Structure 1
Amino acid sequence: MPAVMRAAATAERAGVPAVAIGGAGFEGMGRAVGRSLGVGHVPIVSYPGVILTDPTEVFRSKMRDTVAPAVVDALVAGSAAVDDVEDEAEHGPTDVVARGDLDAITDLFEARGWTDGLPIVPPTPERVAAFLDHTRRDPDEVLGVLAPDQRQATVRSVAVNGVMAGCRPPDLPVLLAIVECAADPVFRVQDAGSTPGWEPLVVLSGPVVERLGFHSGTGALRVGRRANTAVGRFLRLYLRNVAGLRIPPGQTDQGAIASTWHVALAEDDAAVRSLGWPSFRADRGFDDADSVVTVQSVVAVSAPIYSGGETAADHLEALTTIFGNAIGPWAYTGLEFGAFHPLLVLGPAVATALAGFGVDKDALRGHLAEHMRVPVRQLQACAWNVGSTSFDLDAAVAAGELDGRYAGTDPDRLVPMVPRAGDIGIVLAGNASRNQSRGFVQNHVQGVPVSRRIEEVT
């Protein structure tokens, strides 16, 4: 629906009256996006059902008998179709919006949609001030504007939501860097409510991990350590309260089923140093002395990848097979949109074994990029089922967007899932006493990895 509303906005700005057509259940999201684009008046006509599950004759009948007449009526009505929904009253940045005991505050915040479904820590002026003591930045400094609600992300609002999420005051510089990542236009936060239901993953690398007590070992992505859990929770809460991404009845988040976790991933620096490998932050272009946060989308997670054996090939085969199984036909999205950044969380013991066999990070990336393959027929089927009926691998090869490895005529030929080895992220974390790794599948141009250096007050 965001793409439809952007197209409608383009037409309206060109002086052409527009009507947006979308699937049933997406009208609320469409109206929110329309308001953010300045075209809240554009009528929205909903297709009654799910297009891709309706047989062709049923689709044609609904379009002829229901959708087409509604489009004509909307165009004839013109300005009568203005969206007159009033925006919720906005409070000032330092207003006290409620008073009462913990239960009363929790109930009020939940009723107003200001929580993630869990109790929050009341953001009292004193608690917010304690957070702001950990930055030299002006509390009203704008870090960016977040869609779909087009609200300004400010230093103060980061502190408020950090308090609510259960973070500690010294965590504020981390939270500011996280929001700067999400506010970067390349991250495309406006697509965080799309139907695949991807989740933003926070990855921390550098001295801040040890200094603020983040956990990178056994159960690295399990709730339990306050630093990881609260900081991970913060981003989802911030996207809800400031960006405006809410599940129905707010309807701006249309994740069909979606997935979630409230834990930030921290890199095991000691394991990285012991191998002499570059850290994740170095891979992202920063110095090892820096503390860096990276935010990226995750749309799927692999099964646990247990690897072992007498040769590097034994480990590589397990990593390739199970990570590749998680990516599978969804790789079409990276091939179609030209961006794909899967992330491998490599167990320290597995990394040590690979290093002993002479396999470093670059060699591992190269092997995965060359050997994680998928039949073209499956890519095309997945694309069609998602609604991307224009996906054309041959056209991408002819245009030079994909190399010769993707050329051919056999629909069952195997092609690489990841065109560029360098786009595969590798983070060392997890139980150092087990031979387990995990793969995380990123969602093409939506939520590409964005990194920022954490500016701590010393």
Structure 2
Amino acid sequence: MQLHTKRALTSRVHEAPDFAAAQELYHSNGWTDGLPIVPPTEAAVEACLEWAGMDPDQLLGIEPVRGQPITAEKLAINAVMAGCLPMHFPAVATAWQAMHKDEFLLHGVTSSTGGCAILVILNGPIRLEIGANATFNALGNSDRATAVIGRAIRLALINLMDVRPGGIDRATLGHPGKYSYCLAEDEEDMTWEPLHIQRGMPEGTSGVTVFAAMGPRQIMNEWTTDPKEILETFAAEMRANQLHYSIYGGNYVIVIPKQLRDHIQAAGWTKKNIAEYIFERARVERGEWANVGKGSVVRDRASKVHPALQSPDDLLVVAAGGPAGGFGAVIPPWMGSKTRAVTAAIGVCVDCEPPKPVK
């Protein structure tokens, strides 16, 4: 295959006599997440860059504290280490660029004691091209694509931003999503608008949404077909998160598998209807904190109402999961509205300035 990268790779090269020695080299230097890596050969890194049409020195973001530039070459190295094929790299690169938007608050997300992970949600044709599974075990890395894309984000944070436990990463507990946290939407088996289109991306594009997320909280309601009763269970879990974790509103993700989704769609409910209903139902009074051991912070504000969502638009509704079982999931935010979910189109510049006419 003829490679067309315009500039040579500039990263330092390490030699290892065999695969086992390469693993020990990476582990001993703290360059992994504790799992084995794929040695990032020059050919593999160049193949990722060529697939994405990127030069090695293309700037993907600036590390927000030390001002360190993050280049496509460095990200591709970590993507290969995570197990990515070239076809996976555009999603990784787009997710990384989205993470660098100011509203995402990357430094806070990755350094907090709260211990969130970065959830990546895939939409559009790319899901089918890379074999991302949106059904069985959808939140459990059930396929190669979602597993390695999510892992590439974490490895890049470790190696490009020094986000290591006990260093920049100050997480008290963290959660398993820090290994890999990537989900594809089941667009073929829903009547709803895909998430990225809802959030402003053009029709026909592929997109990624990044979200600073705590671990998924699974719910179950097999005893009704009424959309309001089903969604009340989701709202109750969101209220529980407000009481047990953070009372402040921000983005939430709810994942609705097929069994519950079919009931909601059959009743004619759209994602907008879902969000408007949950916006009204997922809220608590500050005084309720007294019932969960937090009475000392209630003071004279017991009647103050705290909605889980600042507006219905804050709810990210995702269709995914296996075909049977009355289950769903609520994925809470790291810290209210301090960070915002960001959606970006893959391979398309949505907000670029139009070309100026030639005189």
TM-score (normalizing by structure 2): 0.86
- Segments of 5+ residues of structure 2 without an aligned counterpart are 1-8, 349-359
Structure 2 CA distance for aligned equivalents of residues 96 and 166 of structure 1: 19
Please, which of 349, 352, 370 is the counterpart of residue 280 of structure 2?
370
Question: What is aligned with 2:209?
Answer: 294
Higher relative contact order (CA 8 A, sep 6+): 2
Report the AA paired with residue 243 of structure 1.
Answer: M
Please, which of 178, 181, 200 is the counterpart of residue 95 of structure 2?
178
Structure 1 CA distance for aligned equivalents of residues 228 and 182 of structure 2: 31
Structure 2 CA distance for aligned equivalents of residues 128 and 431 of structure 1: 35
Please, which of 84, 103, 124 is the counterpart of residue 206 of structure 1?
124
Question: What is aligned with 2:324?
Answer: 433
Report the AA paired with residue 327 of structure 2.
Answer: Q
Task: Judge which range, 352-361 or 299-308, deviates more.
Answer: 299-308
Structure 2 CA distance for aligned equivalents of residues 241 and 445 of structure 1: 28
Question: What is aligned with 2:347?
Answer: 455
How big is the shift at 1:325? Answer: 2.0
Please, which of 119, 133, 149 is the counterpart of residue 215 of structure 1?
133
Report the AA paired with residue 346 of structure 2.
Answer: I
Task: Judge which range, 342-351 or 421-430, deviates more.
Answer: 342-351
Q: 1:300 to 1:162 in 2, by over 3 A?
A: closer
1:140 aligns with 2:50: no
Please, which of 134, 149, 159 is the counterpart of residue 231 of structure 1?
149
How big is the shift at 1:313? Answer: 2.9
Please, which of 75, 79, 85 is the counterpart of residue 168 of structure 1?
85
Please, which of 47, 72, 75 is the counterpart of residue 130 of structure 1?
47
Contact conserved, 1:121 with 1:166, CA < 8 A, in 2?
yes
1:420 aligns with 2:311: yes
1:267 aligns with 2:185: yes
Task: Judge which range, 371-380 or 106-115, deviates more.
Answer: 371-380
Report the AA paired with residue 183 of structure 2.
Answer: L
Question: What is aligned with 2:173?
Answer: 257
Contact conserved, 2:157 with 2:163, CA < 8 A, in 1?
yes
Structure 2 CA distance for aligned equivalents of residues 226 and 182 of structure 1: 22
Contact conserved, 1:330 with 1:382, CA < 8 A, in 2?
no
1:99 aligns with 2:9: no
Contact conserved, 1:308 with 1:314, CA < 8 A, in 2?
no
Identity %: 25
Contact conserved, 1:331 with 1:379, CA < 8 A, in 2?
no
Which has the higher Rg, Structure 1 or Structure 2?
Answer: 1
Q: Which has more helix, going by share of residues?
A: 1
Question: What is aligned with 1:343?
Answer: 253
Structure 2 CA distance for aligned equivalents of residues 315 and 307 of structure 1: 9
Contact conserved, 1:305 with 1:323, CA < 8 A, in 2?
no
Question: What is aligned with 2:115?
Answer: 197
Structure 2 CA distance for aligned equivalents of residues 183 and 327 of structure 1: 27
Structure 1 CA distance for aligned equivalents of residues 338 and 70 of structure 2: 20
How big is the shift at 1:183? Answer: 1.8
Secondary structure of the equivalent of 2:234?
Answer: helix
Contact conserved, 2:176 with 2:215, CA < 8 A, in 1?
no
**What do the CA deviations read for 1:182-226 (whole angstroms, capped 9, x no partner)?**
222221111112000011100001110011100100101113411
Secondary structure of the equivalent of 2:40?
Answer: coil
Contact conserved, 2:248 with 2:307, CA < 8 A, in 1?
no
Contact conserved, 1:343 with 1:425, CA < 8 A, in 2?
yes
Report the AA paired with residue 340 of structure 2.
Answer: V
Report the AA paired with residue 126 of structure 2.
Answer: V
Contact conserved, 1:145 with 1:153, CA < 8 A, in 2?
yes
Structure 1 CA distance for aligned equivalents of residues 47 and 347 of structure 2: 17
Question: What is aligned with 2:29?
Answer: 112
Structure 2 CA distance for aligned equivalents of residues 147 and 107 of structure 1: 31
Question: What is aligned with 1:281?
Answer: 196
Structure 2 CA distance for aligned equivalents of residues 350 and 153 of structure 1: 42
Contact conserved, 1:135 with 1:173, CA < 8 A, in 2?
yes
Report the AA paired with residue 113 of structure 2.
Answer: T
**What do the CA deviations read for 1:329-364 (whole angstroms, capped 9, x no partner)?**
544333xxxxx1011111122122112223221121
Question: What is aligned with 1:316?
Answer: 231
Contact conserved, 1:200 with 1:447, CA < 8 A, in 2?
no
Structure 2 CA distance for aligned equivalents of residues 333 and 413 of structure 1: 12
Contact conserved, 1:188 with 1:445, CA < 8 A, in 2?
no
Contact conserved, 1:281 with 1:288, CA < 8 A, in 2?
no
Please, which of 96, 99, 105 is the counterpart of residue 188 of structure 1?
105
Secondary structure of the equivalent of 1:304?
Answer: strand
How big is the shift at 1:419? Answer: 2.8
Contact conserved, 2:248 with 2:308, CA < 8 A, in 1?
no
Q: 1:451 to 1:413 in 2, by over 3 A?
A: closer
Structure 1 CA distance for aligned equivalents of residues 289 and 340 of structure 2: 21
**What do the CA deviations read for 1:257-312 (whole angstroms, capped 9, x no partner)?**
1113214100001123xx2x211011111123010011111124323333441433
Structure 1 CA distance for aligned equivalents of residues 182 and 91 of structure 2: 11
Structure 2 CA distance for aligned equivalents of residues 384 and 212 of structure 1: 47
Report the AA paired with residue 254 of structure 1.
Answer: R
TM-score (normalizing by structure 1): 0.68
1:390-405 superposed matches below 5 A: none
1:325 aligns with 2:240: yes
Report the AA paired with residue 52 of structure 2.
Answer: T
Q: 1:161 to 1:415 in 2, by over 3 A?
A: closer
Task: Judge which range, 197-206 or 375-384, deviates more.
Answer: 375-384
Report the AA paired with residue 219 of structure 2.
Answer: P
Secondary structure of the equivalent of 1:303?
Answer: strand
Q: After TM superposition, which residue ranges in structure 1, 4 or more long, deviate above 4 angstroms?
A: 378-385, 412-415
- Segments of 5+ residues of structure 1 without an aligned counterpart are 1-91, 335-339, 393-408
